[in-house]
Amino acid sequence: MKTLQHKHIIKWFELASLTLRENKDYLTKLDSEIGDADHGFNMERGFNKVHNKLEEFSLNTDLGAIFKNMGMTLISSIGGASGPLYGTFFLQFGMAIVTKTELSLQDFVTAFEKGVNGVKLRGRASVGDKTMIDVLAPVADRLKESLSENNTFEKVFSDIVKSAEKSMKSTVPLIAKKGRASYLGARSVGHQDAGATSSYLILKSLKEAIEE
């Protein structure tokens, strides 16, 4: 597959909503170990709103508008730190693909990078701080590398999910430097970051969306 179509995006958002609902308790458990025990509830609340908008999204062919709507939906319903961060990711992603009705790999890579840069700017986090950036930044790098390899979306998404899973697990030994977990200092070691985990789940549903 060389282009990502409207139906794939809708499927992605649908699967992401379902997987975040299924993993609500898991995410909350991770967050309760080193955070404030609300990540699962907040992500579920936000993505339930997304799920309610799937019909509206499927009637709009402008992918840029859909991503922006997605971003605003998350910003206005998640709250906490995850709302502005995930919201910013989808908003910025949408700004890079205004009026497009399908995406080439180049389009996707450019938009993804813009999204990740938005998250970095908003959250002021770097790789190694034990946050979602630990998953998102290496994926953005891997995506850029894939451009020269002339790969299909199937291969690229399979690669980035592997990378995301590895990155997610690599947050376990880190000391948190951002967010509420940072107050634990060395006590945050040995726990997987909840935000890195939700980022992995969202990327995993992207891969699954094009398999169906």
Partner 1 sequence: MKKLINNIEDVITEQMQGMAAAHPELKINLDPKFIIRADSDSQKKVVIISGGGSGHEPMHGGYVGKGMLDAACPGEVFTSPTPDQMFECAKAAHNGHGVLFLVKNYTGDVMNFEMAAEMLNAEGIKTQNVLIDDDVAVKDSLYTAGRRGVGTTVIMEKIVGAAAEAGYSLEACAKLATKVNSYGRSMGMALTSCIVPAAGKPNFDIDENEIEIGVGIHGEPGRKRIPHTSCDEITSILTHAILDDGVYTRQIREWDHGTGNWKEIEFTSPPFKSGDKMIVLVNGLGSTPLSELYGVYRKMHEICEDKNIVITRKIIGSYITALDMQGVSITMVKTDDEILKFWDAPVKTPALRWGV
Which positions touch partner 1 (CB under 8 A)?
Answer: 28, 32, 36-38, 41-42, 45, 72, 75-85, 122-123, 175, 177-180, 182-185, 187
CB of residue 75 vs partner 1: minimum separation in angstroms? 6
Q: What is the 3-state secondary structure (H, E, C) of 68-84?
A: HHHHHHHHHHHCCCHHH
CB of residue 180 vs partner 1: minimum separation in angstroms? 6
CB of residue 6 vs partner 1: minimum separation in angstroms? 27
Residue 195's nearest CA partner among 28, 72, 12 is: 28
Nearer to partner 1, 37 or 65 (CB): 37
Nearer to partner 1, 64 or 83 (CB): 83
Nearer to partner 1, 4 or 119 (CB): 119
Q: What is the 3-state secondary structure (H, E, C) of 38-61?
A: CHHHHHHHHHHHHHHCHHHHHHCC
CB of residue 10 vs partner 1: minimum separation in angstroms? 24
Contacts of 165 (CB under 8 A, 6+ apart): 200, 204
CB of residue 24 vs partner 1: minimum separation in angstroms? 11
Calpha distance 33→117 (Å, rounded): 28
CB of residue 125 vs partner 1: minimum separation in angstroms? 9
Structure tokens at 56: 């509206």
Chain CA centroid to CA 131, Å: 12
Nearer to partner 1, 82 or 192 (CB): 82
Nearer to partner 1, 84 or 138 (CB): 84
**How many angstroms separate the Cα of 97 from the Cα of each of 26, 52, 150, 161?**
33, 23, 21, 22
Point out which residues pair with 4 in neighbouring strands: 103
Calpha distance 146→140 (Å, rounded): 10
Nearer to partner 1, 147 or 184 (CB): 184
Calpha distance 27→189 (Å, rounded): 17
